[in-house]
Amino acid sequence: MKPPAGGRATLLHVRLRVLSRLLLAAFLGAEAPAALGPRYGGELRVGVPDLPSSLVPGPAPGLGPRLAAGLVHETLVGLTSDGALAPALAASWTAVAEGREWALSIGESARFHDGRPVTAEDAVRSLRTFLRGPGAAAAALARALDGGAAFRARQAEDLPGLAALDSRRLALRLDAPAASALATLASPAAAITGAGGVGAGPFVPDLLVPGQRLVATAFAAHARGRPYLDRVRVTGSFGPEELATEAHAGRVDLAAGEPGLEALAASLLLILDPRRPPFDRPETRAAVAAAIDRAALVARLVPGGTASTDLLPPSLLRGPEPPRPPLEAPPSRLVLPDGSVVLAVSRDLPPPVSQRVLAHLTALGLRVRVTAMDAAAALAAPAELRLLAFAPEVPEPGLALEELSALAPSPRAALERLEEARRETDAPRRRALLAEAHDALRREGSIVALGHAPVRFGGRGRVHGARIDAAGRLVLEDAWVEP
Amino acid sequence: MTRPGLRRRLVLAFLLVTLLPLFLLSAAVAVFLSRGLERATRDRLEAGLAAARARFAALADRARARVAAAVADDMPALGPGDDDPILHEIARRRDLAALELLDGAGIVIASHHWPAGFGLPDRDGLFPDGAPYRIESVASGYGADERLAVVAEARGRWRGRGVVLRGGSFVDEELLGGLAALMGLEVGLYDEIRGRWTLPAGSRLGTWTRPALGAARGEVRLGDARVRWAATALCRGLLLVVAAPEAALEQTLNEVRRLALTAAALALLGTLGGALFVSGRLARPIRELAEAARRVAEGDLTVSVPVRTDDELGALARAFNDMTAELRVSRSRQAQAERVAAWRELARRLAHELKKPLFPVQLSIETLRRSLDREPPPPPGEFEALFREASDTILQELRSLARVIESFGDLARLPRPHLAPTDLSRVAEQVLGLYQPGAPQVRVETEYAQGLTVSGDAELLARALGNLLANALEAMPDGGTLRVRTLTVPEGVAVEVEDTGPGLPADQMAQLFAPYHTTKPGGTGLGLAIAQGIAAEHGGRIEAASPPGGGARFRLVLPRPKPS
């Protein structure tokens, strides 16, 4: 964590950090361009397929919206790569009453972009908005909080489960101990905003052209210290070929989908609507699931990916993968009703993946019309088929499975296991319940996993310190660029 | 129906004679030109079909040669590596936009244009008889497009097994657009099996949803335009269609039509001007003659027409002038004769009226003289009685004579009316009020219309109306019904007096308004004459009628006042 920039303390801190990085580089023999270590200043240009139309906190599916949310906003807590809670605006938290009550203390250095300190009242107001908003995390927290369900359903204005204890501390009171209650606060939708929606993230937005461009400058008073970069310029509305062209031409420093940084943070999911023909027949869904040659698809079209029938990315699958029952051999051709079906494709995906799935579906005898759209629209599209790179809103297995179960009508067994897992505090038992829920969802055949795909950002190599977190979000807080 | 005037008929005749040939000529030119343009368009379509057909044949030949060269030279030469990059390289070297490698079972090993199809059965859309045309899936965005390709295939070996290499080029917008631009025609391919077009961007053929291309050529309306087309089969199920919008043809024809219309309009204007001038000169003397004749008919015999020419019209004008001169002389003579006759009639009447009382006077005086000269003289008292009787008779006749003289004076003294706005209904009501009390035996019915204002002399009108009322009441000494009403008539307004008396004898109707004509004992016969005179002074008249069942009806008709 970096201290705020400015003044003697900041200068000393920077010097110490540069020195330590130099020593570390010399010890590890890091690559030559980065050997000078991080430096403040510079501008980073990022290209993404899409950008949000506003900066109001939300679930932010998609690479661009998730990046924008992480730049501008800050949540109370974060999650580490192994799923543990990490401080963010909240510096610490404690549990009492056997995990039914949680008190979170907001850090002294937490400030909004307008310089005002982040208070418990701000947090309560933001979380009340969050609880009534879309997203699986909001639904999960509302279910757990005392009075949360009624509040979310707008049946009550009182929310006894959420209160500010003083200007720096707020309390969450749960109906029962819940394993993932605090993790919901890591959702980008649970970001804390000040008056007028001002954020507390590492960058202050200077310009947002909805859906097209976001320019943000470093926030010197960020809770974890000033970012190295002076400015981030994010450009959206690129097609996949355009992104590659922009990256190769050096017009962007990091482009989505290009090799460089990558994390296996997304699942390739084909979602079949079981309420509409022809996917209302289980044998049709099974045939589709079995027809797609995952290994060939991933090997030839998803560099860095892995073929899998698991619904969640590997980072969320803890422990050894249980044995899966083999899928039935598909019929060479289905008997299908006349008419075509619509395949809604998220633009986060590489187009060849969509084309390959289309080829398989066509080979089965389906007549398919493909419509590409941004990730949020693809998630909610009323299409017979949806093809997504699913990166969960909150990279926590239980919440991710709940998010998945909301994407398509789920079997009762899966919902029951998820309900049990919510209340289970014993980690091994909870993991087993989640595995059962996962298998029940998978067997239903409405959500067909094709493999795991890396979230990738790459360019011409002058960027250091950037990373992709477990939610598939490009994190630029520690990024710096070579002069 | 009124026939148009002479001048108008002359103008119409001129126009007809001038314009008819012009229109016929224009129509003939348009027809010949249209046929010529149609023939030229048909020839152009046939030439376009032949050129496009040759181009597609050339594409098939080129695909065949390039695929054969790729199998013979490229496939053995390219070494190990992934299938896709190798196929992309062959496609680049041989300029084959469509290229795919298939195993012996028809499974796609690799595809340049549809990389996602590897490992799956080839599902191209085919045409019968091994035609070199196929509908290929082509990667496009996140999905695929189906595009028509001209392909050839060749067998070879790849990684130790028998394969088929199929390649060629797509019939894309660039190709069709180039052909269309070169030929100045629209070019398209219609897949009869799948019912779809392959067209360059913006081609209106795409709006032809159900083309009936059974014939070799025809025309069809697409959107706002008519299109002439010609078609030929490239293979079974795939038709090459060329089309020429009729816009150019129609534009030329429209220009010809516009030119013809302009010429016709100019001719029309010229002819109209000439016809007006000529017909004016021809019709003017005739019109003057007609006007003069009308005035003569109205009694104006002073009119004459100018004699402008020595032709037939001039002779006609001269004859007319001679005729009016003759009429003037004739009328003067007739007026003199009428005046003499009138004086004679007046003298006769006057003599009659004066002689009528003179006879009793003479007789009375002679009786007195005889009585005075009688021997022996009459007994006392007898002469006094006779004298009293005779003097009474003489006085009575002298009074009668005085009345006759007074009536003549009245007729002579009838004053000029002093015209002023006068309510006719009010006059009728007032006059009736004077006469009604003197005839209690008569039942009176009235019906007065409102607003019947005339320009008249109320006193004279009252006198005329009084005469009519007096006549009517006198005709019903034993009672009856008198109807008085005012009304609007086509000529103006009227007051009507109707009685239920014995009516008017038919033989008296003609003499009814003649002075001194009377059927009443003791009447002077001047009442109706005076009334008629008053009506005439007001520009009106009196009409009399006597229905067969009895009764008489007199209607005093007056004109409406002219608006100031």
Could you report the per-residue pLDDT of A401-456, keeping only the tens digit for each? 999 999 999 999 999 999 999 888 888 899 899 999 999 999 889 999 999 999 99
Task: Kindly report the nearest CA distance between residue A262 and chain B, in angstroms.
Answer: 22
Q: Does residue B412 carry a pLDDT above 90?
A: no
Residues in chain A: 483
- The nearest CA of chain A is from the CA of B67 a distance in Å of 25
- Helix H or strand E encompassing B157: strand B143-158
Interchain pair B139, A352: CB under 8 A: yes
Task: Enter the ipTM.
Answer: 0.79
Does the distance separating the beta carbons of A359 and B114 come in below 8 Å?
A: yes
Indicate the residue of A296, A345, A359 with minimum beta-carbon distance to B142.
A345
Helix (H, G, I), strand (E, B) or coil at B367: helix
Of A239, A347, A355, the CB nearest to B143: A355
Range B175-181 average pLDDT: 86
| Contacting residues of A for B121, CB less than 8 Å apart | 363
Q: Smallest Cα–Cα separation from B225: which of B196, B203, B257, B197?
A: B203
Asked whether the beta carbons of residue A372 and residue B141 sit closer than 8 angstroms, the reply is: yes
Q: Which amino acid is at A302?
A: V
| CA distance readout (Å), B475 to A341, B482, B556 | 110, 10, 18
pLDDT of residue B25: 77
Facing A358 at nearest CB: one of B118, B119, B143: B143
At residue A319, does pLDDT exceed 90? no
Yes or no, beta carbons of B116 and A356 under 8 Å apart: yes
Give contacts of B118 with chain A, Cβ < 8 Å: 296, 300
Q: Residue B231 pLDDT more than 80?
A: yes
- Determine the residue of chain B that is closest to A349 in CA distance: B142
- Cβ contact, residue pair A363, B120, below 8 Å: yes
More confident of the two residues A67 and B517? A67
Chain B contact set for A369 (CB, 8 A): 143
Write out pLDDT tens, residues A272-316: 999 988 899 888 898 899 889 999 999 888 888 999 888 998 878
Distances from the Cα of B256 to the Cα of B28, B189, B227, angstroms: 11, 35, 20
Q: What residues in A contact B142, CB-CB < 8 Å? A: 345, 347, 349, 351, 354-355, 370, 372
CA angle B102, B105, B109 (to 5 degrees): 30
Query: C-alpha distances in angstroms, A396 versus A141, A253, B536?
Result: 13, 30, 123
Distance from CA of A339 to the nearest CA of B (A): 15
Contact A399, A140 (CB under 8 A): yes
Q: Quick: pLDDT tens for A109-143.
A: 999 999 999 999 999 999 999 999 999 999 999 99
Task: Tell me the C-alpha distance between A215 and B459, whole Å.
Answer: 109
Mean pLDDT of A332-341: 62
What string of H, E and C letters represents the secondary structure of chain A?
A: CCCCCCHHHHHHHHHHHHHHHHHHHHHHCCCHHHHHCCCCCCEEEEECCCCCCCCCCCCCCCHHHHHHHHHHCCCCEEECCCCCEEECCEEEEEEECCCCEEEEEECCCCECCCCCECCHHHHHHHHHHHHCCCCHHHHHHHHHECCHHHHHCCCCCCCCCEEECCCCEEEEEECCCCCCCHHHHHCHHHCCCCHHHCCCCCEEEEEEECCCEEEEEECCCCCCCCCCCCEEEEECCCCHHHHHHHHHCCCCCEEEEEEEEEEEEEEEEEEECCCCCCCCCHHHHHHHHHHCCHHHHHHHHCCCCEECCCCCCHHHCCCCCCCCCCCCCCCCCCCCCCCCEEEEEECCCCHHHHHHHHHHHHHHCCCEEEEEECHHHHHHCCCCEEEEEECCCCCCHHHHHHHHHCCCCCCHHHHHHHHHHHHCCCHHHHHHHHHHHHHHHHHHCCEEEEEEEEEEEECCCCEECCEECCCCCEECCCCEECC
With 60 as the cut, is the pLDDT of residue A214 above it? yes
H helices of B380-494, where? 382-413, 424-435, 458-474
Q: How many CB atoms lie within 10 A of CB B342?
A: 10
Q: How confident is the model at residue A85 (pLDDT cuts 50, 70, 90)?
A: very high
pLDDT digits (tens, 9 = 90+) for B62-74: 999 999 999 998 8
Give the pLDDT of residue B486. 95
Mean pLDDT of A365-379: 90
What distance in Å separates the CA atoms of residue A269 and residue A253, rounded to the nearest whole number?
29
Tell me the pLDDT band of B385, cut-offs 50, 70 and 90: confident
| A7 CB-near residues (< 8 Å, 6+ apart) | none
Q: Which chain A residues are within 8 Å of B114, Cβ to Cβ? A: 355, 359
At residue A16 the predicted structure's pLDDT band, cuts being 50, 70 and 90, is: very low
Residue B225 pLDDT: 78
B119 contacts in chain A (CB < 8 Å): 293, 296
Q: In this complex, do A368 and B143 lie within 8 Å of one another by their Cβ atoms?
A: yes
pLDDT computed for residue B69 by the predictor = 94
Distance (Å) from the C-alpha of residue A372 to the closest C-alpha of chain B?
6
**pLDDT at residue A323, rounded to an integer:** 52
Residues B142, A351: C-beta atoms closer than 8 Å: yes
CB pairs under 8 A between A and B: 53
Secondary structure letter of residue B128 according to DSSP: T
Mean pLDDT of all residues belonging to chain A: 86
DSSP β-bridge partners for residue A121: none
Candidates A239, A293, A370; nearest CB to B119: A293
Q: DSSP character for B113? A: S
3-class DSSP state of B232:
strand
DSSP H helices, B132-245, are 173-183
Question: What integer is the mean pLDDT of A245-253?
Answer: 89
**What percentage of residues in chain A have a pLDDT greater than 70?**
88
Query: How many residues are recorded in chain B?
Result: 564
Question: Minimum mean pLDDT among A3-7, B275-279, B468-472, B509-513: which range?
Answer: A3-7
Distance from CA of A400 to the nearest CA of B (A): 26
pLDDT of A18 above 50: no
Cα separation of B339 and B346, whole Å?
A: 10
What's the confidence (pLDDT) of residue A440?
A: 92
Pull the structure tokens for residue B456.
């008249």
Is A98 in contact with A177 (CB distance < 8 Å)?
yes
Give B123's contacts in chain A (Cβ within 8 Å).
362-363
State the pLDDT confidence band at A31, using cuts at 50, 70 and 90.
very low
Q: What is the pLDDT of residues A37-82, one digit of tens each?
A: 788 999 999 999 889 989 999 988 889 999 999 999 999 999 988 8
Q: What is the pLDDT of residues B433-481, one digit of tens each?
A: 888 888 889 999 999 999 889 999 998 899 899 989 988 998 898 999 9
Q: Report the distance separating Cα A199 and Cα A188, nearest Å.
A: 12
Mean pLDDT, range A186-198, rounded to an integer: 94
Q: Which of B227-231, B378-382, B466-470 has the lowest mean pLDDT?
A: B378-382
| Cβ-defined contact of A352 to B121 (cutoff 8 Å) | no
- CA of B119, closest CA in chain A: separation in Å? 9
Nearest chain A alpha carbon to B143: A355
Q: Do A352 and B119 touch (CB under 8 A)?
A: no
Least confident of A312-321, B294-303, B475-484: A312-321
CB within 8 Å: B143 and A293: no
Q: How far is B144 from chain A (nearest CA, A)?
A: 7
**Predicted confidence band of residue A11 (pLDDT cuts 50, 70, 90):** very low
Chain A positions in Cβ-Cβ contact with residue B143 (cut-off 8 Å): 343, 345, 354-355, 358, 368-370, 372
pLDDT at B102 over 90: yes
Q: B158 by DSSP, 3-state: which?
A: strand
Model confidence at A23, pLDDT cuts 50, 70, 90, reads very low
Minimum distance, in Å, between the CA of residue B40 and any CA atom of chain A: 45
Neighbours of A384 (CB within 10 A): 24
Instruction: Determine whether the interchain pair A354/B119 forms a contact, defined as Cβ–Cβ distance below 8 Å.
Output: no
Helices A412-423 and A427-444 sit at what angle, rounded to 10 degrees? 160
**B447, two tokens:** 């019906």
Confidence (pLDDT) at A401: 94
Q: Which of B118, B139, B142 sits opposite A300 (nearest CB)?
A: B118
Q: What's the burial of B388, exposed, middle or buried (CB within 10 Å: 0-12/13-18/19+)?
A: exposed
What integer pLDDT is reported at residue A27 of this predicted model? 42
* Nearest-CB residue to A351 (from B114, B137, B141): B141
Which residues of B fall within a CB distance of 8 Å from A238?
Answer: none
Stretch among A225-239, B17-31, B319-333, B532-546 having the lowest mean pLDDT: B17-31
Three-class secondary structure of residue B221 per DSSP: strand
pLDDT band at A28 (very low <50, low <70, confident <90, very high): very low
Residue A255 near residue A458 (C-beta atoms within 8 A): yes
Candidates B84, B117, B142; nearest CB to A359: B117
Q: Report the residue of chain A nearest B119, measured CA to CA.
A: A296
In angstroms, the separation between the Cα of residue B95 and the nearest Cα of chain A is 22
Distances (CA, A) of A339 to A37, A245, A278, A336, A445: 60, 37, 10, 9, 22
β-partners of residue A215 are A207, A233
**Cα angle A442, A354, A318; round to 5:** 35
8 Å CB contact between A71 and A214: yes
Contacting A with CB below 8 Å, chain B residues are 84, 114-121, 123, 137, 139, 141-144
Could you write out the three-class secondary structure of A86-105?
A: EECCEEEEEEECCCCEEEEE
Please, which pLDDT band fits residue A1 given cuts at 50, 70 and 90?
Answer: very low
- With an 8 Å Cβ cutoff, are A362 and B139 in contact? no
Of residues A293, A354, A360, nearest to B142 (C-beta)? A354
**pLDDT value at position A80?**
87
CA within 13 Å, CB half, A44: 36
Dihedral over Cα of A24, A27, A28, A34: its sign? positive
A:348-367 residues touching chain B, CB 8 A cutoff: 349, 351-352, 354-356, 358-360, 362-363
- pLDDT value of residue B402: 84
* Predicted local distance difference test score (pLDDT) of residue A14: 43
Higher pLDDT, B248 or A369: A369
Q: Which chain A residue is nearest to residue B117, measuring alpha carbons?
A: A359
> pLDDT digit string (tens) for B23-80?
787 778 778 877 887 788 888 888 888 999 999 999 999 999 999 999 998 888 876 7
Is B142 within 8 Å of A372 when comparing Cβ atoms? yes
CB-nearest partner of A363 from B84, B123, B143? B123
Q: Which residue, among A355, A356, A362, A374, would best test binding to B if mutated, counting the most B CBs under 10 Å from its CB? A: A355
Q: Which of A238, A300, A347 to mutate to test the interface with B (most CBs of B within 10 A)?
A: A300
C-alpha dist (Å) from residue A57 to A41, A52, A60, A183, A231: 27, 10, 8, 16, 21
Average pLDDT for chain B: 84
Identify any residues that bridge with A5 across adjacent strands, giving them in sequence order: none
Q: With the C-alpha atoms ordered A188, A192, A198, A204, is the resulting torsion angle positive or negative?
A: negative
> Which of these, B79, B120, B118, lies nearest to A299 by C-alpha position?
B118
A293 touches B at CB < 8 Å: yes
Overall average pLDDT of the A92-119 stretch: 93
Euclidean distance between CA atoms B182 and B55, whole angstroms: 12
Looking at the whole model, is its pTM more than 0.80?
A: no
The tens digit of pLDDT for each residue in B307-344 reads 888 888 888 888 888 988 888 888 778 767 766 766 77
